[in-house]
């Protein structure tokens, strides 16, 4: 049973938890009693995309289990060096939709601001693992340029704060940014795409809630949770703090080999999300990013899993199965007519 009491955190030490993240595969395996297991021999040595796992997330992994679905998402394996045909460093061709630094504008009516190059956790399947964040890290002058771009296109109703992870940025800067966006009359909604409160639930404290909900913009938070074991009492309490302030809570997951590739795992994820007040929104086919081919699930198999999930859950617990196709006007729903 998930605890529903809401701790009244004025200010949490989320920065300390961020700084204290585990940053080596060896330490990760040591803490999980796996340092002497065969898994240790499959770990990738040096990598440009280092290990990063905050302790609250690590504490949800099962000790002694080399197949733990949370560990699988963060442990760099030698398979990353295998090249997979069709897998690329910029699978969504986002660099083609980068009109000014910090802005990714792919779809009509909304655009994405790259608020922070940092993440609290490095997910091995991340489609932005090769994104040129350095070119998209903004100073005050570039922020003005990005805000002018939004102000100059009155079709934009929604601004999405993204990254990296936007919540890796301090609250003072986020307050300034949200106030500036709220000053653009045609913007109605503020969407935050984040995984940080899942890995460090204390990130949602009073300071964060103040800028997120103290604005005329309607706040929506899209979390990123791939497996039911990622939702513990602290994550449920974090979601409750957001719901109490009327923040719309959605989840997007990625379908990943060895993580959630069974109808049982997907059903459990939907049930646990709903119990925590989060609606399953998207289930993504993985973007074909270089280094992550071992997570891939072919479309035919994904459709079979999806049909099995559909037979198990209520309609409102069924996320949309989607994939991003570079250049398409929106996300493409996969095979929905055939089910």
> Which one of 111, 126, 190, 269 is in contact with ligand SF4 (CB under 6 A)?
126
Contact between 191 and ligand SF4 by CB under 6 A: the answer reads no
The dihedral built from the CA positions of residue 124, 125, 126 and 130, taken in this order, carries a sign that is positive
Please check whether residue 190 is in contact with residue 159, taking contact to mean a CB–CB distance below 8 angstroms.
yes
Task: Give the integer Cα–Cα distance in Å for 261 and 306.
Answer: 10
Closest CA to 221 of 281, 145, 132: 281
Least Å distance, CB 125 to ligand SF4, is 7
Contact between 252 and ligand SF4 by CB under 6 A: the answer reads no
By beta-carbon proximity to ligand SF4, the closer residue of 51 and 123 is 123
Q: Which residues of 139-149 are buried (b: 16+ CB within 10 A; e: fewer)?
A: eeeebeebbeb
- R_g (Cα) of the chain, nearest Å: 19
Binding region for ligand SF4 (CB under 6 A) out of 159-167, 201-209, 255-263, 288-296: 159-167
Contact between 123 and ligand SF4 by CB under 6 A: the answer reads yes
Binding region for ligand SF4 (CB under 6 A) out of 17-25, 40-48, 122-130, 323-331: 122-130
Measured distance between the N- and C-terminal CA atoms of the chain, rounded to whole angstroms: 33
Contacts of 29 (CB under 8 A, 6+ apart): 35, 37, 39, 40, 43, 75
Contact between 121 and ligand SF4 by CB under 6 A: the answer reads yes
Q: How many residues does the chain have?
A: 339
Contacts with ligand SF4 by CB under 6 A: the residue count is 11
> Which one of 80, 165, 267, 287 is in contact with ligand SF4 (CB under 6 A)?
165
* Interface mask toward ligand SF4 for 196-235; x: CB under 6 A: ----------------------------x-----------
Least Å distance, CB 179 to ligand SF4, is 25
- Tell me the β-bridge partners of 221: 192, 249
Contact between 119 and ligand SF4 by CB under 6 A: the answer reads yes
Least Å distance, CB 336 to ligand SF4, is 24
> Which one of 60, 105, 191, 195 is in contact with ligand SF4 (CB under 6 A)?
195
Binding region for ligand SF4 (CB under 6 A) out of 9-17, 34-42, 118-126, 213-221: 118-126
* Interface mask toward ligand SF4 for 26-65; x: CB under 6 A: ----------------------------------------
Structure tokens at 268: 């459990």
Binding region for ligand SF4 (CB under 6 A) out of 102-110, 158-166, 213-221, 259-267: 158-166
Least Å distance, CB 123 to ligand SF4, is 3
Structure tokens at 212: 């997120």
Least Å distance, CB 192 to ligand SF4, is 12
Burial class (CB in 10 A: 0-12, 13-18, 19+), 150: buried
Question: Longest Cα pair distance anywhere in the chain, in angstroms?
Answer: 59
Binding region for ligand SF4 (CB under 6 A) out of 13-21, 90-98, 108-116, 163-171: 163-171
| Residue ranges of E strands in the chain | 103-104, 110-116, 158-163, 189-194, 218-224, 248-255, 279-285, 320-323, 332-333
Please give the residue ranges that form the binding site for ligand SF4 (CB under 6 A).
119, 121-123, 126, 128, 163-165, 195, 224
């Amino acid at each position: 049973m998930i605890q529903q009491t809401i701790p009244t955190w004025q200010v949490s030490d989320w920065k300390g938890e961020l700084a204290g993240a585990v940053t080596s595969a060896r330490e990760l395996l040591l803490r999980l009693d796996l340092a002497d297991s065969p898994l240790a021999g499959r770990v990738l040595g040096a990598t440009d995309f280092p290990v990063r796992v905050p302790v609250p997330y690590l504490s949800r992994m099962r000790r002694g289990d080399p197949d733990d679905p949370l560990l699988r998402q963060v442990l760099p394996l030698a398979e990353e060096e295998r090249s997979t045909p069709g897998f690329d460093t910029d699978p969504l061709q986002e660099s083609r939709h980068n009109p000014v630094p910090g802005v990714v504008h792919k779809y009509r009516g909304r655009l994405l601001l790259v608020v922070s190059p940092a993440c609290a956790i490095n997910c091995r399947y991340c489609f932005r693992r090769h994104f040129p964040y350095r070119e998209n890290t903004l100073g005050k002058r570039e922020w003005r340029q990005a805000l002018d771009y939004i102000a100059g296109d009155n079709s934009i109703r929604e601004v999405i704060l993204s990254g990296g992870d936007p919540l890796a940025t301090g609250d003072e800067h986020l307050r300034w940014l949200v106030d500036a966006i709220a000053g653009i009359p045609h913007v109605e909604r503020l969407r935050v795409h984040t995984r940080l409160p899942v890995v460090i639930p204390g990130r949602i404290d009073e300071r964060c809630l103040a800028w997120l909900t103290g604005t005329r913009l309607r706040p929506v938070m899209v979390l990123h949770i791939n497996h039911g074991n990622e939702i513990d009492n602290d994550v449920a309490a974090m979601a409750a703090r957001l719901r109490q302030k009327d923040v719309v809570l959605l989840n997007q997951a990625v379908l990943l080999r060895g993580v959630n590739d069974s109808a049982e795992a997907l059903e459990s994820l939907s049930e646990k999300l709903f119990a925590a007040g989060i609606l399953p929104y998207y289930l993504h086919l993985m973007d074909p990013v270089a280094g992550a081919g071992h997570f891939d699930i072919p479309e035919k198999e994904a459709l079979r899993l999806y049909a099995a999930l559909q037979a198990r859950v209520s309609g409102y617990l069924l996320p949309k199965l989607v994939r991003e196709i570079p250049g398409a006007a929106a996300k493409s729903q996969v095979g929905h007519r055939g089910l």
